[in-house]
Homo-oligomer: A and B are copies of this chain.
Amino acid sequence: MSAHLTHTQDSAENQAVGDVEAYMTRLGQAARQAASRMRRAATADKNAALLAMAARLDEARQEVLAANARDLERGREGGLDAALLDRLALDEGRLDAMIEGLKQVATLPDPVGEIDGLRARPSGIQVGQMRVPLGVIGIIYESRPNVTLEAASLCLKSGNAAILRGGSEARASNAAIAACIDAGLRDAGLPEAAVQVVATTDRAAVGRLIAMPEFVDVIIPRGGKSLIERISREARVPVIKHLDGVCHVYIDASADPDKALMIAVNAKTQRYGTCNTMETLLIDAPVAETLLPRLAEAYAAHGVELRGCERTRVILPQAAVASEEDWATEYLAPVLAIRVVDGIEAAIEHIERYGSHHTDAIVTEHYGLARRFMAEVDSSSVMVNASTRFADGFEYGLGAEIGISTDKLHARGPVGLEGLTTRKYVVYGDGQVRR
């Protein structure tokens, strides 16, 4: 179903916005103006808005669930698959979690205004760096309507204005949630344009959103790889992006076998569809023969399909043949590629060649090898003796997460409030001039 068709067929929840370019320009202008108000918003006011949104959502449970039911019905009619429908669905439990999430963001420390490294210079000035909002953040996401609220709350708390563009399949839910956000902002005396939910499913809106550097400072796409690649290619503003997670666990010969087993099983099986799930297991040749059969047994109990290199298949004949393509694949499924390697050098080479620089772990009790792995593996998270599944904003103590960045510049790895801010230099003087 094309965006244009939806636009004309379903005008109730898809507002008639007129010319889409002009509409997006108006959103951009309003966001830019709201951003300069939000930049100086008091922490107390931002927290009050978050709590007011929570209260408004609690009052509007029936409206939100009714809107969600309309989205689900349309989705079923349109032939959405079960996984997408599940991501789209809201229920009382999910609403509870959304309300709780808002309250938690209110309790997080406000990153704005923090000054680091204030030092006196020989000239007599004092120089430091102050954390400040980025400005206007555009977020483009797919089916899950709770992202609307999560993104709004994180952008708000970090002093930014946000323009949110959700998936067309969630448009009724998003509109109902947007009403709660607006009301909460009004209750707290903050500008409603601090969070704007794009009220059209016309795809041209995305094209315009990512090409207004005068109004938008950064785009954060959340969704499938193809969406993110397209946005990165076409954007005229910086993009904080999250591509795939081809994550590795390398079990060195020096590993504690029990830790190795626990970590390798947890990293693969605790959840299959997440980006920090291990996709390839690398195992050092001297311990392959003893550990692989134990691992295979554990994976079999979880129904994980194994694909191995030749040396793996000598030990585990039940494993399928891993092709060159397997090493670079993010399965997001109960499938695991296994390769026997000769030591850490070969493991790091494999990770560098086939990995996606997301999260990689070593299991070892050897001090020097642990240090080397941590220094040399160029990924957003590197770990010793821990499951890759820990690569997550909450587990890292960020308190919240807008996504995981696989970029190198600005924010790398899980992105919390700090990743939505930048730092400017502050200089305090008493009349100093440059000689």
Beyond A385-B432, A412-B423, A427-B383, whether A374 also contacts B130 by CB under 8 A is: yes
Give the chain B neighbours of A270 by CB distance below 8 A. Answer: 433-434
B130 touches A378 (CB 8 A): no
Q: Bin the interface of chain A by size.
A: 35 or more
A14 at the interface (CB under 8 A from B): no
Give the chain B neighbours of A266 by CB distance below 8 A. Answer: 433-434
Give the chain B neighbours of A381 by CB distance below 8 A. Answer: 424-427
B390 touches A125 (CB 8 A): yes
Interface string of A219-263 (1 = CB under 8 A from B): 000000000000001001010100000000000000010110011
B424 touches A380 (CB 8 A): yes
Interface string of A108-151 (1 = CB under 8 A from B): 00000100000101010101001010110000000000000000
Give the chain B neighbours of A430 by CB distance below 8 A. Answer: 259, 385
- Main DSSP-derived SS at the A contact region: mixed
Interface string of A386-409 (1 = CB under 8 A from B): 110111000111000000000111
From B217, B385, B408, B426, A431 is in contact (CB under 8 Å) with: B385
A384 at the interface (CB under 8 A from B): yes
Give the chain B neighbours of A311 by CB distance below 8 A. Answer: none
Query: Which residue on chain B has the smallest CB distance to residue A428?
Result: B384
B427 touches A382 (CB 8 A): yes
B433 touches A387 (CB 8 A): yes
A39 at the interface (CB under 8 A from B): yes
Shortest distance from the beta carbon of A421 to any chain B beta carbon, whole Å: 10
Shortest distance from the beta carbon of A155 to any chain B beta carbon, whole Å: 14
Give the chain B neighbours of A380 by CB distance below 8 A. Answer: 424-425
Give the chain B neighbours of A238 by CB distance below 8 A. Answer: 238, 407-409
Contact surface of A with B, Cβ cutoff 8 Å: 36, 39-40, 113, 119, 121, 123, 125, 127, 130, 132, 134-135, 217-218, 233, 236, 238, 240, 256, 258-259, 262-263, 265-267, 270, 352, 361, 372, 374-376, 378-387, 389-391, 395-397, 407-410, 412-414, 422-434
11 contacts between A and B (CB under 8 A): A36-B378, A39-B376, A256-B431, A265-B433, A266-B434, A384-B427, A385-B429, A386-B431, A387-B429, A389-B434, A412-B423
